[in-house]
């Protein structure tokens, strides 16, 4: 018996050592690649609380140096004070109940809210009720699903991107449509399309999911940064949809990334809904030309 124990002890010790090494490696946080100017592995992170548990879009407000935010189940706009880390109402209820608001943009003196059906609500500055809000409905009657709206000054318009649209079904594209800010109407045809095949090719992952959930144009390099909560991706394109870079995001850090915005100096803000934990706001300082 003693001989058997002695024979097995080295084997048992070896197995324990292997297990310890495996656990040690598993405990280390995996490092994910970052685009130039950012370290996505080192955010400044704040919990947002229950009011913004379903935060679905953010926009930087240059006038107040704050973030505007909306939530799926709320009919108002909130303001996040970045210095005091405080939340307050930016407006009262300005859209109908169950509007399913998915994104928010500030362009000029107006704030625009996007519903999942493709309706854009225009909220004039300093108006905090629904009396002066204008509503613009997308011309397509299909059962579209939109989550992304951003302002493109070069196109003098708001760009609305399909997450799931019947017209894209069976095709490796995601379509973007422009809302003309001068005419206050949608263009009669698509503005551009993203190639999901290009995203998969850059990631070397044929199963990658690219379903845009938020986007914003970088104030310095002028590229378009797009989040895809499904698939946990950050994709960078030019302002006409040509895919340039693609990055996988850590799902533990970005469990449901559905909001992105930039400060004028390039600092990037990403928000996560609280579906898989606390809703969070993460800030990434911009250092031009550095990883």
**Where do the structural domains in the chain lie, given as residue ranges?**
1-30, 32-284
Both tokens of residue 50?
Answer: 């229950």
Fold (CATH) for 32-284: Neuraminidase (2.120.10)
pLDDT (0 to 100) of residue 276: 82
Q: Is 93 helix (H, G, I), strand (E, B) or coil?
A: coil
Low-confidence ranges of the chain (pLDDT < 50): 1-9, 12, 18-28
| Integer CA distances (angstroms), 240 to 121, 186, 224, 246, in order | 24, 17, 9, 16
Whole-structure pTM value: 0.88
- Asked if 150 contacts 159 with a C-beta cutoff of 8 angstroms, the reply is yes
Q: How does pLDDT run across 64-78, given as a tens digit for each residue?
A: 899 999 998 899 999
What is the spatial distance between Cα 39 and Cα 32, in angstroms, rounded to a whole number?
Answer: 9
Both tokens of residue 47?
Answer: 């919990």
Using DSSP bridges, classify how beta strands 55-61 and 192-195 pair: parallel, antiparallel or unpaired: unpaired
pLDDT (0 to 100) of residue 224: 98
Q: CB neighbours (10 Å) of residue 204?
A: 8
230 burial via Cβ count (<10 Å: 0-12, 13-18, 19+): middle
pLDDT (0 to 100) of residue 17: 54
Q: How does pLDDT run across 244-261, given as a tens digit for each residue?
A: 999 999 999 999 999 999
268 burial via Cβ count (<10 Å: 0-12, 13-18, 19+): buried
């Amino acid at each position: 018996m003693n001989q058997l124990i002695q024979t097995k002890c080295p084997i048992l010790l070896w197995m324990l050592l292997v297990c310890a090494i495996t656990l040690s490696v598993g405990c280390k946080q995996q490092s994910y690649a970052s685009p130039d100017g950012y370290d996505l592995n080192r955010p400044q992170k704040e919990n947002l609380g229950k009011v913004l548990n379903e935060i679905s879009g953010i926009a930087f407000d240059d006038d107040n140096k704050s973030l505007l935010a909306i939530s799926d189940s709320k009919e108002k706009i909130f303001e996040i004070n970045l210095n005091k880390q405080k939340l307050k109402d930016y407006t009262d209820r300005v859209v109908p109940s169950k509007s399913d608001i998915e994104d928010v943009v500030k362009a000029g003196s107006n704030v625009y809210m996007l519903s999942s059906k493709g309706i854009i609500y225009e909220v004039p500055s300093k108006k905090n009720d629904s009396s002066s809000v204008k509503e613009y409905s997308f011309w397509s009657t299909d059962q579209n699903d939109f989550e992304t709206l951003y302002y493109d000054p070069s196109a003098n318009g708001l760009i609305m991107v399909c997450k799931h649209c019947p017209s894209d079904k069976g095709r490796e594209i995601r379509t973007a449509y422009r809302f003309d800010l001068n005419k206050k109407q949608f263009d009669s045809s698509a503005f551009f399309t993203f190639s999901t095949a290009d995203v998969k090719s850059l990631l070397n992952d044929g199963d990658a999911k690219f379903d845009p959930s938020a986007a914003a144009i970088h104030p310095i390099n002028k590229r378009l940064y797009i989040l895809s909560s499904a698939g946990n991706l950050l994709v960078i394109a030019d302002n006409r949809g040509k895919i340039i870079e693609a990055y996988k995001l850590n799902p533990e850090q970005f469990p449901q990334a559905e909001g992105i915005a930039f400060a004028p100096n390039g600092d990037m803000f990403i928000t996560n809904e609280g579906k898989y934990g606390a809703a969070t706001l993460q800030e990434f300082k911009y250092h031009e030309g550095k990883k």
